[in-house]
Amino acid sequence: MTDLALSAGYGCALSENISAGAGLKLISESIEDISGRGFVLDLGVLCSVPAVKGLSLAAAAQNIGPAVKFQGVEEKMPFNLRVGAAYAFNFAGRIGVAALDLTGERSENVLAGFGVETIVAKSFPVRLGYLYNNFSFDYAFVPFKELGATHRFSATMFWGQ
């Protein structure tokens, strides 16, 4: 079984407090000799809250697109709606971030996630990632009960302001 998602995205500031972005993903999956491939679009918006320094709110719609065919049968992509909030704070001389995320997938219960992160030694996030100038690499291990576990890798390159 292999799953692959390649994506490219673009984001920009719309105003001093509001930014928006879009990403296009190529998704490919194969299980034994059955495979499918398709494209989906992600859209998101981020807003800083001037009245509460350090607070940001966000919303995103993920996997917008047509169904993917597997052996001639069309499968809908797992459309997600996400909302979240993050609060940046000072902790022992380091900037920390606490975040709350709510995710609703088509015909599934809403899931909530919470996380806290700080960067140690000016370049090592405690969240098992690494940030170096304009490049970051992240890793996460996510258990999926009876389906086993997944390893998630992310590489990001930043440019511009």
- Is residue 76 domain-resident? yes
Give 53's pLDDT tier (boundaries 50, 70, 90): very high
Q: Which domain holds residue 73?
A: 2-120
- Is residue 88 domain-resident? yes
- Is residue 136 domain-resident? no
Give the pLDDT of residue 128.
40
- Is residue 125 domain-resident? no
- Is residue 13 domain-resident? yes
- Is residue 20 domain-resident? yes
Tokens of 72: 């001639």
Q: Are 137 and 129 in contact (CB under 8 A)?
A: yes
**Does residue 55 carry a pLDDT above 90?**
yes
- Is residue 138 domain-resident? no
- Is residue 143 domain-resident? no
- Mean pLDDT score, 130-139: 62
Give the residues across from 132 on adjacent strands: 135
Task: DSSP for the chain, please give it.
Answer: -EEEEEEEEEEEESSSSEEEEEEEEEEEEEETTEEEEEEEEEEEEEEE-TTSTTEEEEEEEEEES--EEETTEEE----EEEEEEEEEEEETTEEEEEEEEEEEETTS--EEEEEEEEEETTTEETTTEEEETTEEEEEEEEE-GGG-EEEEEEEEE----
Half-sphere exposure (Cβ direction) of 56: Cα atoms closer than 13 Å: 18
CA distance 97 to 143: 24
pLDDT digit string, tens, across residues 16-37: 999 999 999 998 888 888 888 8
CB atoms within 10 A of CB 114: 9
When divided into structural domains, the chain yields a total of 1
- Cα dihedral 19, 24, 29, 34 sign: positive
Most confident of 73-87, 89-103, 126-140: 73-87
